[in-house]
Chain A
Amino acid sequence: MGLHNSKSEIIVVFVVLMTFIMPAIAAAAEVVFPVSAYAPEELAEVRQWEKTWAGKKIDKTNIDQVAEFMPASYVEIYKNPETWGGPPEGNYFHIVPYTQIVETKGMVAATKKYSPLVKTDPEGKIINYAEIAGFPFPEPKTGLEIAYNMECQTRGDTYHMNWKGGVVDPRKRSERNSDQVFKEMFFIHRVDVEPMPAILKNPKGYHKGQFLHFNKPAEMHNSRLIVMKFIDETKEYSSYLYYSEFRRIRRLSQAERTNAIDGQDQIYDDGNMFDGYLSRNNFKFTGKKELLLARHQDVKDIKHIFGEALSSGYTFERCNTYVVEVVNNNPNYIYSKRIWYIDPETYMIHWQEMYDQVGQYWKCFNQPTNNIKNANGEMKNFMAAYIMQDMQRKHSGQTKVTVKGLSYKMSPKQFSLTNLQRTY
């Protein structure tokens, strides 16, 4: 009886212990996501700084005081507006308080579910890449891991947006307008739109598809472009242009990926800041850097004067970015290196600096974002504008984004050749 009692006590104690200890063990292994760009003590320092700066208008008179939080090339544009087509008083922006961005429930759940399942080879390459979703490395340690997170940011899985902007020659104060409809859909890594995490009926192994419809420039009116990226990184992108003037579908050479797009300062590989195969690049995580990011940018606040390289009215907040140096494996690649400044909460590249083949500073891109309500009723941080500056040639390009649909059901047939030639 006594033995029986002691056995029972042991079992009871064991059960009680397991009841309390196991969750603790599980909690220790649980993926921590979403994360904040700042640790609490860092955030306190930021809040202190914001007491001085939040709400302030920054222009050429006081840009030096926040210059440490901006790419030096941008500071020069604010300081020398006459060189960049700006008004005599110069361009300005406002500083707003840092606000944490929380990803959608789908992204959070997928990150928690799939990041522990990620399998890598000795070089760090993900082996089961097509089977996962969410950010594979919620606590990245290397440049490649950050790059994977950046690529797994599926921007709502599907979206439909209209971008309007201009190719600007600030020295002549002239602009040429572009107006395009852009749609993108991810076939894998889906977190917000069913089927998740991947579209099973994908015999060609697409990673994602892009569809571009030109309204302007006028000679391209009604021309359309589809670009397909493959899961298999040995396959080149597949691109087709329906050229409305000749009413013909033309397959495009992938040498075009490094061709400047229609007078702009970007190449096809610069789409969404970076659009290429990760395996063709080397990534080096060089540390963290605090920068001013336009993460909650209302496009209505952007004030543009015809012919200026940089608009005014941006709202920047401090954020502690990941800095990644990207070098293409091809020594003849158009850029000798790119420097990415990545938002650690969304893994979107906000600032990017590019160097030419002889290593000279060449371009600086900025991608403001804003929280947009998606089809599920959630807020999703998404591209709001896109600003390109060619520092060598003093040339610029700017677009404002209007989101027509986000995380909605899109058919893969959107990216068929048949759809290219439809009546629009």
Chain B
Amino acid sequence: MRIKSAVIGTTFICLMLLCLSSPAHASTFFLDGRLEISGFVKETAYIRTGMSDREKIYHDSNLDYLQTSLLFETLYTVKDDSDLTIRLFGGVKWWWQKAHYFDQDYRRSIPHRDRKDWTHPRSFNEDILTEAYVDIIKGPWEVRIGKQICIWGQLNMSRVADVVNPLDIRRGFPGENPWEDIKQGLWMIRVFYESELPGDLLFETIFNPGDYQNMEIVLEGTHKGTKPYGVRWFDPENQKFGVYHWQREQWTRDAPGWNLKDNWELGFRVRGNTFGVDWTLLYWNARDDVPVAHPDKIGTFTTPYIFSGILTSMTGKWVSPPDWSREKVFYYKRYQTIGGTTQVYSQKLWDTVWRTEWFYEINRPLNKAVNGDSREIYGWTRRNIFGIAVQCNKAIYIPWFTKSFIAVDRMLDVSLTYFWEKVQNHDHDLVLSDRDHAWTNSSTDMLGLFMKQDMFHSRIIFIFNGRYFLRTGKWMAIPSLCYVMPGDHWRFDLGYVAEGGPKRRFVKSSATMDKVTIRLRYVF
């Protein structure tokens, strides 16, 4: 039944898109231009090309991801004149994940409660409503009130100085999905003041009175999620979820939610231009998006799950662990960040644009565990962490090729990024695996390469995104082609994601996650 509805649904969506595309010059403006709509509908499929034998137990097919996504944004201009501008902005998103309808083993691998989150949005405020705010501009002042996504960074995929909104990586990562899909909006007030001071200083203040969203991490058994065989230790056949799901659920439960007393977040940013350099300085004071586990409770919290697994293994039937919803295990601690960005164009340095971003996290909460192994947490502490990314961007003229009928005078856009992070006062027990640190390393660094080449009058666009972590050897390479179909709306993307790296302690690399990505988009 579900397979049938998925097939019918996908067909219906494709037909609907075809009907929508018929007016070649469709307008997105209404009410004399006062109302503007934009967004996309897209169908995305990931087909795995490498899958370990252990994982095949949970898959009947290589189709790992088949999702219909929708983003719909509206902007209504209430008033727009030289004295006062008032605009209303709203955005909603929606998704329908269908791959598990075609694959019963895959369906079984996703815990029942996660399956709902995986398949459809679960909450209007948290999942569907991306942004909803009023923007008031009067003279040098601008005030935005409502749910917002704020971008403070300048780099492509990295979030070095981009600290305000928590991420939602359940269905994709930066670079794979747009920011509206990945970032969670927060209800807040942003005030800008455009000064007349030298350097065109722009002052920005953000105040979030009490909205809190934790980072939404991947779901067990799903495409990017923890593999079931790794977390259902005792009886993979009969255990309905693994310890990862057990902990993730608690992690979400323990998130503070709305709280006007303790959840306030405050940030300042100044932007200016001095001697041709664009720069920003920022300060951010907020609860961490990810928690630390309480050392006294994490053990007692995990034990019932272990017993449940043992009993399941002994009886051959699923024995559910006890209800822990009244206990608190994870704590979202407050810390502060200072940071900044610079951006400068240099003709002398081979016509390049240089971008830097840096942060200094003050008293960032971190768990401590035996040899940094997150399974043996015994405490938590605070550390200061410094990170910096330097990016060099250049449009490159390639002899013959740029002038050829392929590139049609379009140069190759290349960005090379180096990122380095250092944890101060490091010791080997700090749990840093989520930050891509190799065991015993207080620092980590990464090289990123981005290339974009428009071809055939921008009908086909080649993009390459690559990352290599120098300390751990972990890497990722994503070449893709985008075909811009005739007309205004249709785009087709075909890509390949390759990942790899040595098998080392705490290095989360996987050579079995390689996949072909296919995406059909209707953009408006």
Contacts and interface: CB of A to CB of B under 8 A. Distances in A.
Is B truly associated with A?
Answer: yes
A214 to B, nearest CB: 11
A299 to B, nearest CB: 16
B178 interface: yes
B19 interface: no
B156 A253 contact: no
Contacts of A413: 194
B408 A393 contact: yes
Given A246-B156, A393-B408, A424 B75 contact: yes
B22 interface: no
Interface in A162-187: 167, 169, 172, 174-177
Contact of A218 (B179, B271, B523): B523
B151 interface: yes
Nearest to B394: A253
Interface in B77-130: 82, 87, 89
B353 A253 contact: yes
Interface string B131-143: 0000101000010
B351 interface: yes
B147 interface: no
B199 to A, nearest CB: 10
A248 interface: yes
Interface in B377-419: 393-395, 397, 403, 405, 408-411
Nearest to A201: B196
Contacts of B155: 248
A107 B488 CA distance: 41
Interface residues on chain A, size class: 35 or more
Interface string A386-424: 000000010100000000000000010100111000111
A395 B192 contact: no
Contacts of B154: 248-250
B343 interface: yes
A301 interface: no
A245 interface: yes
A417 B179 contact: no
Interface string B445-484: 0000000001001110000000000000000000000001
Nearest to B155: A248
Contacts of A306: 24
B179 A263 contact: no
Contacts of A175: 486
Contact of B144 (A177, A217, A262, A423): A423
A30 interface: no
Contacts of B29: 215
B194 A416 contact: yes
A254 B87 contact: no
Interface string A184-203: 00000000000000000001
Contacts of A169: 457
Q: Which of A216, A221, A222, A251 has the most CB of B within 10 A?
A: A251
Interface residues of B, number: 61
A260 interface: yes
B89 A253 contact: no
Nearest to A397: B457
A259 B488 contact: no
Contact of A255 (B151, B411, B484): B411
B412 to A, nearest CB: 10
Contacts of A278: none
Contacts of A264: 457
A236 B192 CA distance: 29
Nearest to A260: B409
Given A260-B408, A263-B459, A176 B395 contact: no
A236 B202 contact: no
A413 B138 CA distance: 13
Contacts of A219: 484, 491, 523
Contacts of A423: 75, 87, 89, 135, 144
Contacts of B151: 246-248
A249 B198 CA distance: 21
A416 B397 CA distance: 30
A330 to B, nearest CB: 12
Interface string A322-348: 000000000000100000000000000
Given A248-B153, A423-B89, A334 B457 contact: no
B344 interface: yes
B25 interface: yes
Contact of A176 (B75, B198, B352, B484): B484
Contacts of B351: 253-255
Contacts of A263: 408, 410, 454, 457-459
A252 B488 CA distance: 26
Given A167-B457, A413-B194, A255 B488 contact: no
A251 B276 CA distance: 11
Nearest to A267: B409
Contact of A253 (B395, B408, B454, B457): B395
B278 interface: yes
Given A215-B28, A259-B395, A263-B459, A221 B38 contact: yes
Given A251-B278, A251-B344, A252-B353, A417 B409 contact: no
Interface string B334-364: 0000000001110100011101000000000
Given A169-B457, A262-B458, A417-B202, A236 B347 contact: yes
A216 B487 CA distance: 11
A256 interface: yes
Nearest to B482: A219
A218 B523 CA distance: 6
A177 B486 CA distance: 9
B39 to A, nearest CB: 9
A422 B489 CA distance: 25
Contacts of A416: 194, 200
A162 to B, nearest CB: 10
Contact of B488 (A176, A253, A395): A176
Contact of B278 (A174, A177, A417): A417
B268 interface: no
Contacts of B394: 253, 255
Interface string B493-524: 00000000000000000000000000000011
A259 B390 CA distance: 25
B134 to A, nearest CB: 10
A411 B393 CA distance: 32
B277 to A, nearest CB: 10
A176 B194 contact: no
B149 interface: yes
Contacts of A395: 408, 457
Contacts of B459: 176, 263
B478 to A, nearest CB: 16
Interface string A227-256: 000000000101000000111111111111
Contacts of B82: 411
Contacts of B278: 249, 251, 417
Contact of B142 (A176, A411, A422): A422
A174 B484 CA distance: 12
- Of the listed residues A177, A222, A255, A424, the one surrounded by the most CB atoms of chain B closer than 10 A to its CB is A255
Nearest to B196: A201
A307 to B, nearest CB: 9
Interface in A299-320: 306
A114 to B, nearest CB: 30
The 6 residue pairs across chains A and B that have the minimum distance between CB atoms? A263-B458, A218-B523, A260-B409, A263-B457, A247-B151, A255-B351
Given A217-B484, A263-B457, A416-B194, 7 more contacts: A203-B198, A219-B523, A245-B178, A260-B454, A267-B409, A357-B403, A423-B87
Interface of A: 167, 169, 172, 174-177, 203, 215-219, 221-222, 236, 238, 245-256, 259-260, 262-264, 267, 306, 334, 356-357, 393, 395, 411, 413, 416-418, 422-424
15 contacts: A176-B488, A177-B487, A215-B29, A216-B488, A218-B523, A219-B523, A248-B151, A248-B153, A248-B155, A249-B154, A254-B351, A263-B408, A263-B454, A422-B135, A423-B89
